[in-house]
Amino acid sequence: AQTVTQSQPEMSVQEAETVTLSCTYDTSESDYYLFWYKQPPSRQMILVIRQEAYKQQNATENRFSVNFQKAAKSFSLKISDSQLGDAAMYFCAYRSNTGNQFYFGTGTSLTVIP
């Protein structure tokens, strides 16, 4: 099984500021997919952003962007102009290109301070 590590159990950010959530993964594969999911208090799992490993360009979705460092096996999520609605648990996930299993980190709980 692949290992996905989120080393920050909790993070906080001031409203309108920028925060970066860290994720590292362990794999011997060269082609795979990486994801960030958001889980608000409702517990609904919401896809935030997705990155294909073969693409060098970092994915961006509005205020959310990633810093994908393939050699370092690092996949961090940057949230710009943080809003109160960004408060949630964030999960990093990995999927191999050869299989259909998805592996998740343990999550980072983000608090947004007004």
> Closer to other proteins at the Cβ: 15 or 61?
61
For 15, residues 6+ apart whose C-beta sits below 8 A from its C-beta are: 82, 83, 84, 112, 113, 114
CA atoms within 13 A on the CB side of 87: 12
Q: How far is the CB of 102 from other proteins (least distance, A)?
A: 5
Q: How far is the CB of 14 from other proteins (least distance, A)?
A: 26
64: contact with other proteins by CB under 8 A: no
- Report d(CA 102, CA 114) in Å as an integer: 34
In eight-state DSSP terms, residue 25 is: E
- Residue of 43, 71, 72, 84 interacting with other proteins (CB under 8 A): 43
* Site of interaction with other proteins (CB under 8 A): 1, 6, 33, 35, 43-45, 47, 50, 52, 91, 93, 95, 97, 100-107
